[in-house]
Structure 1
């Protein structure tokens, strides 16, 4: 992998639908979302992929409090970002300590890829009210198990409404 060669040991997390797919949840994915700790890491990751077309130059997006870039890697949109807003919870998918504390390593070829836990992903999709995304996540977690405390904290942190909590 270009990243390993250029910057060994760089910490990142796969989040979004890609994280669910890597954990076996059958969902359509339009892109792959990579969360990095800081802007410098986004720039380094993008530099490691400089042989691929940049679709959106790295820049600050104030409305979402992210530093963001999009790169076309063999026809797949790879979105690299930070999320730079404070969080009091450890149970948010892309904000604060949540993705850094609550992740699993998934084997992809010869690589171990760190992906956010599905409990965090589910809370995000419940908040967004996307049943096409949260139904497969619920099915997967009911079959494979989940951390009930983490999911509860994630739903609290995301202020998931009661009618969606009942689905869980």
Structure 2
């Protein structure tokens, strides 16, 4: 089966609440983060989100996630993906692709969305049903989208961060660590420091503040 993308933030909250009701990581003390486009949508950024991605620290937590969602169609059972260095599984939950994984790439940096200490250090608590979900900081999500060169994602993120405020130093460090070219770094920081206006007007066209842990 081919899962559908998320329609909006409301559907994200409904699906994620259903998953968390079954998995209940807080009751087991499981450390996790909402990452990917779902993390941005959960924080109110209006952008396309194709799935829901959950980052966990241990492989056994991926196995527990799979056990909790056993009543839904399994798209891929827990398995090690050597190229991506992930232990990963995903399911179709009410037609939406929901996955959990580790990302086992060593780094001493705290500026990556899904590796190192970054996602655990920089996050925003978001209420989803009866749960409080730690969503990765938008600053780190923005740089992921810049690296992937997806303007339909990074332009809404820039607009949201300009309007709501951002940690410019974290964005600057992340762009350097992740190899964003200098011209793009300059344009992004200039946009974020300027008054709110359409991102495309500042030259970036197609080619919530974080809570320190």
| Structure 2 segments unaligned to the other structure (5+ residues) | 1-20, 189-213
Question: In the superposition, relative to structure 1, how do residues 50 and 147 fare at CA in structure 2: closer, same or farther (>3 Å)?
Answer: same
| Structure with a larger share of its residues in strand | 1
Number of equivalent positions: 168
Match of 1:62 in 2: 82
The answer to whether the 8 A contact 1:127-1:161 is kept is no
1:6: how far off? 9.2
Alignment match of 2:159 (pick from 135, 139, 164): 139
Matched, 1:97 2:117: yes
Matched, 1:116 2:136: yes
- Structure 2: distance between partners of 1:50 and 1:113: 22
Q: TM-score, normalised by structure 2?
A: 0.76
What's the RMSD between the two structures over aligned residues?
Answer: 1.4
| Structure with a larger share of its residues in helix | 2
| Structure 1 segments unaligned to the other structure (5+ residues) | none
Matched, 1:4 2:24: yes
Misfit runs of 4+, over 2 Å: 5-9
The answer to whether the 8 A contact 2:25-2:31 is kept is no
Matched, 1:38 2:91: no
Question: In the superposition, relative to structure 1, how do residues 6 and 163 fare at CA in structure 2: closer, same or farther (>3 Å)?
Answer: closer
1:8: how far off? 2.6
Matched, 1:76 2:96: yes
1:166: how far off? 2.5
Larger radius of gyration: 2
- Find the residue that maps to 2:24 and give its secondary structure: helix
Match of 1:48 in 2: 68
1:108: how far off? 1.3
Match of 2:148 in 1: 128
